[in-house]
Structure 1
Amino acid sequence: MPVISTSAVRRTVLGAAGVAVAGVGYASLIERNAFILREATMPVLQPGSSSLRVLHISDLHMMPGQKLKQQWLRELDRLEPDLVVDTGDNLSHMRSVPAVVQALGGLLSRPGLFVFGSNDYFAPVPKNPAKYFNKDHRRVYGAPLPWKDLRAAFTERGWLDLTHVRRDLEVSGIRIATAGVDDPHLQRDRYDTVAGAPNPAADLRIGLTHSPEPRVLDRFAEDGYDLVMAGHTHGGQLVLPGYGALVTNCGIDKSRVKGPSQWGDHTQLHVSAGLGTSPWAPYRFCCRPEATLLTLVAAPPRRPEADSGHGLSTSEAVAR
């Protein structure tokens, strides 16, 4: 049996430590500030409808001094989206509201919809990373954040708060029926307040939630929503090449941790990987911070019910 020298072991340990330090440095200093705009096309509109450009932003986790993120956000208005959707976790600090409002800039003058997440209500706190692997771990809440000030800033500029309300609007000639719930991650969702089929005259039906919990997604799908939009997952935040996200931090499976996917027979889901991180976990790996420009187009005609899985529950259809 060959003898491994002490010096060889030392070199191996030091090399592994160096790789780990370099990885942490890259994840915390480079990738978490490497913002990217992703684009996707989703066939969710009624046949014959013209397309609609929707900018989905989420999980800003804004700190007052994050100038690079604020400048990148300001430039998104150049995309001239028809509609802006914000799915929460905008704040991370008591003094973050002005930074968020100024960063969103011209986007606040465009039609917009929003719901809030846990880090709009409470400041983030240090957390053992192992807790992310236990969905039932005890929640620890930080200091209350000024979410009412943020809500006032959004609504005064015309954005619609969808927290436990249903609203109809028209954007670029597209009639949209919308509804939203408060953050399921905090068990604040009360879907019964918005339950029922949306306006049948609408060209598009959108549901909003911060955390994409299956119990909420199922209800939106059962009520006939075409598209549900969510955030919260950070796309996994740490992604291993060849394996994928380590966790979703909610009830959905890892294949849906970010981007478009199907939920049930007729509902599309879009999960944003978000633009920020907790200040106590300031790193991303193989999961760049992002906003998404969705181009919504007409869906193909549905197949007859006999061929579409009619009679299955949403959960059964997802598992099929």
Structure 2
Amino acid sequence: MNQPIEHKISASGRTKLIRILCVICGGLLAAVGLELFLMPHKLVLGGIAGLSALLAHLTEMRLGLFLFLFNLPFILLSRRQINLRFALYTLLGLFCLTAGSLALHHFPAVSTDPLIAAIAGGLCLGLGIGIMIRTGGLSGNVREQGFLLSDGGPPKSAEVVIMLFNCGILLAGGMLFGWDQAMYSIIAYLLAFEGVRFSLRGLSRSRAVWITSSRYEEIRKALQLSLKRDVKLIQPGTKEGQPGVLFCLASRLEEDALTSIVRSCDQDSKITVASNQPDSLADWVRRKIS
């Protein structure tokens, strides 16, 4: 009787270990892209990483310190939207990115060619950040930004602000370090963007979720409150205590949170998830690191 339970616990432990290793590898890969390729050539990207790099060059302070200081407020502000497990993954991802950046600061550049540095650095940074987002190693705000990247971009109301912010960073980098560096920075930025999109491909697909539970009303209210998700009761319980069936749509980014909410209401509930699109070979490979 204990074997299935022990097997389930063991499988859960392996999944957590894989996620932790992916977060660590993602943070270190992003740090390699920044410190061994982009920073030595004064290539400045957009976003928080670009702002951190720009200030690190101006003040001669360590890049890792700015990365930690600028990312920490997002973690604190998004604490109410994520559970403790995601918060721990978030802190682990930020710690690995910061520690990796500090540890690699004194190492020489891998390439003396700025074009090679822009290509390799952009890909390492984008893939590293994408892996951390996919495995839950960044804050809810950044996870949502990554989801929006994979789904075609941010809302139009925020698109102009983000574009102006990134253009301002690239313009400042060009004025300070030369327009050749600005051109290479744009190349690195575009490759980093594509690296994130590649890592997150498939997360934006909606999945049909059926939940069978005798506490379906409690679960429905909890999901609507926490995920702002429309949940339909498609089969009510025939009598008190009998299970009913709920239906909703969720992306892969929301699956863990949805499962956690449902299990907190009813440990004996049954959750069935089905993708509305067939998985490709690339999706199968990516799913193995999720």
Establish whether TM, by shorter chain, passes 0.5.
no
Larger proportion of helix? 2
What TM-score, normalized to structure 2?
0.29
TM-score between both structures, scaled by the size of structure 1: 0.27
